[in-house]
């Protein structure tokens, strides 16, 4: 199943997994990334839920931004290798 999901999300994973430079990744970084991505996803769902009665479509911008950040974080945190997680954190 993981192989199928990695091939499905390969454009995102290839962007973060490429490179030859050295990196440093602590085991806690992956857990924090997954936790923060879950918070972003919760925030996107909350904003979408609270703004559903609004006729103004301006509320969709934060929903799209937070949902995109959450999806990228969850994909890298759950499916990516240590280099991808280190690249998200900026630790090289």
Measured between its terminal Cα atoms, the distance across the chain in Å is 30
Q: The tokens of 47 are what?
A: 């904003």
* Domain span at 85: 2-89
Count of Cβ atoms closer than 10 Å to residue 40 Cβ: 20
Distance CA 3, CA 54 (A): 41
Question: How many domains, the chain?
Answer: 1
**φ, ψ for residue 51 (rounded to 5)?**
-105, 10
pLDDT for position 25: 83
- Kindly report, residue by residue over 16-62, the tens digit of the pLDDT: 888 887 888 888 999 999 999 999 999 999 988 888 777 677 888 88
pLDDT for position 92: 55
Q: The tokens of 77 are what?
A: 């945190």
């Amino acid at each position: 199943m993981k192989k199928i999901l990695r091939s499905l999300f390969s454009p995102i994973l290839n962007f973060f997994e490429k490179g030859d430079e050295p990196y440093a990744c602590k085991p806690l970084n992956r857990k924090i990334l997954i936790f923060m991505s879950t918070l972003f996803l919760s925030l996107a769902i909350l904003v979408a839920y609270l703004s559903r009665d609004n006729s103004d479509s301006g509320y969709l911008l934060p929903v799209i931004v937070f949902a995109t950040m959450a999806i990228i974080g969850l994909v890298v945190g759950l499916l990516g290798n240590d280099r991808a997680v280190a690249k998200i954190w900026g630790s090289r």
